[in-house]
Structure 1
Amino acid sequence: MTSRSVVIERPGEHRLVTGPRPEPGPGEVLVRVAAAGICMSDREVYDGHRDAAYVRYPVVPGHEWSGTVEAVGAGVDGGLVGRKTVAEGFRACGTCERCRCGDTSLCTAGYDETGFTRPGAFADHVVVPARLLHPLADDADLRAAALLEPAAVVAAAVRAGHAEAGERVAVVGAGTLGLLAVQLLAAASPGELTVFDPRAERAARALEFGATEARTPEEEGELTGRYDLVVETAGAPSTAASSCLLARRGGRVVLTGMFAPGATGIDPVHLSLSQLSVRSVFGAPSSAWSFAVRAFGAGMIDPGPLITHEFPLEEFGDAVACVGGGDPKVGKVLLRP
């Protein structure tokens, strides 16, 4: 049996490789990939802009995915074969102090993640440790489930923000993370749920997903100090600082965007005088994955409408070019092996 995979040999160079189907080792499962999302992190890997400590070339990318268990290795329950599933990307050790406290995204054993340091899901098959699986319902939509990785990141942010009913909440950015955040936050019955994004199309979609109003970044000044909770998802050079200005005194800010060197710093004078609580999120711990999968199964989030483009593996070059190109009509891009 054979299996295909997209291999990025080095920045800017990729090829579609056909070889023997990978086999799961002890404690592992083999999953036939149904769909895999492409995000800006994958674009950074392709362009060579990802921090060298967080990628290992050559690499098969793909950390957002869904599929069906096709085979299991020694020591794994054979009943998993045929189950629809997603899986955590971080290969946390499970034994260090941080893991034992539940903070698996802060594992001290060193960074190791499917699609960056281990072969990912831009392929017909992916092999992952069985302990990282989150099985789905038999009738789960695997196309939509491919977005459960960003949903888990958003779940980590929303849980860290401790959103309460009746609060004024802002979401900065209406990309995939932002729109998923709107869905989860709307379920918490906020008094206001405002989304800030310069793109009218994205703002309109945010209103469909439960936001009470949409604003442009130019309108942030008139809303300084208004919000109990601000969830930043854009990762733009100025959004960490501007999100802190939107929060009221004593408010909470959660940063989920991936910032590049040179981004505007947060004013420490404002931070201390306003007594803000600021958290950042990088990836998602196991608890956030469980939360996102439950929310998906219960219908609290529906990632499907965020998908705008789908490509076969053979067209990976065209697919990755869509991501981060600035076209407001491009939402989530999937590879469909």
Structure 2
Amino acid sequence: MSTESRSLVVDRPGCHRLVLGPRPEPGPGEARVRVAAAGICMSDRELHDGHRDAAYVRYPVVPGHEWAGTVEAVGAGVDEGLVGRRTVAEGFRACGRCERCRHGETSLCTAGYDETGFTRPGAFADHVVVPARLLHPLADDADLRAAALLEPAAVTAAAVRAGAPEPGERVAVLGAGTLGLLAVQLLAAFSPAELTVIDPRRERASLALDFGASEALVPKEAEEVRGRYDLVVETAGAPSTAADACLLARRGGRVVLTGMFTPGAVGIDPVHLSLSQLTVRSVFGAPSAAWSYAVRAFTAGLLDPAPLITHEFPLERFADAVALVGAGGPETGKVLLRP
């Protein structure tokens, strides 16, 4: 086994390098995982380009918060039976002691933001070291390529749990990106009467039909179905989609926002919100329970992220890979790095 390991370091916005150094060793309570695949999302692109809020990144950093791999070694105090197990891991380094953590809301930890791939070394590398308590072991035959998408799937699971869908309801999903298509798969398992996906890219919206949606619309067409849906899950983070989601919901309906909005996004009309008696929830990241939910759905075959993957690159081609993310091409789905 080699004692060296490669990692992709972003020293500062727009400046990255591939580094060969000593293989990281797990300390007490930690595990070293050999990375099989790591997904690139818009937050990684923002980190690389320097557009991520300074409170949520610490340069220099090895990015990579969406990943899967195999446990290679463990530190003191960790069950050695984990060695050889396929796994994913939560990204938030929640303290586990504050009031919110004790309540199970680990994504709201009050100890301060700390996340693998943003403030701690991530998985754009041959190896990643994480606290063993954050691991979610997978089945022995799990597809690690597909499992790399369990991080966005956990975020989607948090949204579905917040939305509390029931069989026979009318459900809409705004956005047919990674989060949107994963949401379709999870929501389809509740047997909705209708499952409508809305995206300005008709090709992406239509792709949702293969994932369990009953209807695919572009925004202009969606104007005709405002006020129809029991549950609306927003995943796009576009300037108008929070407001649009509330207009799609029926009176007394539920709206869950998962998109990462930028300053200048259109606000939700408080008059409409009040008169329609809407319940609006937001999701940022995923608590431990949502991770467990996503892993169970993946293991049971209710969630299959593999068809979302369209491009795979080695670490050496990170520049090509990150350039694809957010470029807007309908043919580009999930982009992976394969160390």
Deviation at 1:115, TM superposition (A): 0.1
Aligned position for 1:19: 21
Aligned equivalents of 1:220, 1:195: Cα separation in 2: 9
Structure 2: 5+ residue stretches without partners: none
- Give the letter for the 1:72 counterpart: V
Q: 1:220 is paired with a residue of what secondary structure?
A: helix
TM-score normalised per structure 1 = 1.00
- Give the letter for the 2:90 counterpart: E
Given that residues 251 and 278 in structure 2 are in contact (C-alpha distance below 8 angstroms), is that contact kept between their aligned partners in structure 1?
yes
Aligned position for 1:6: 8
Q: 2:253 is paired with a residue of what secondary structure?
A: strand
What is the percent sequence identity of the aligned residues? 84
Aligned position for 2:143: 141
Verify: 1:269 aligned to 2:275, yes or no.
no
Deviation at 1:39, TM superposition (A): 0.2
Structure 1: 5+ residue stretches without partners: none
- Give the letter for the 1:232 counterpart: E
Aligned equivalents of 1:175, 1:188: Cα separation in 2: 21
Given that residues 202 and 217 in structure 2 are in contact (C-alpha distance below 8 angstroms), is that contact kept between their aligned partners in structure 1?
no
Equivalences for residues 178-197 of structure 1 within 5 A: 178-197=180-199
Q: 1:4 is paired with a residue of what secondary structure?
A: strand
Aligned equivalents of 2:40, 2:297: Cα separation in 1: 22
Deviation at 1:219, TM superposition (A): 1.5
Cα RMSD of the aligned pairs, angstroms, is 0.5
TM-score normalised per structure 2 = 0.99
Verify: 1:253 aligned to 2:261, yes or no.
no
Deviation at 1:200, TM superposition (A): 2.2
Aligned position for 2:243: 241
Aligned equivalents of 1:302, 1:326: Cα separation in 2: 23
Equivalences for residues 1-337 of structure 1 within 5 A: 1-337=3-339
Aligned equivalents of 1:58, 1:327: Cα separation in 2: 30
Aligned equivalents of 1:294, 1:285: Cα separation in 2: 15
Deviation at 1:220, TM superposition (A): 2.1
Aligned equivalents of 1:241, 1:286: Cα separation in 2: 29
- What is the number of residues matched between the two proteins? 337
Q: Which runs of 4+ in 1 moved over 3 A?
A: none
Q: 1:70 is paired with a residue of what secondary structure?
A: strand
- Give the letter for the 1:223 counterpart: V
Q: 2:168 is paired with a residue of what secondary structure?
A: coil
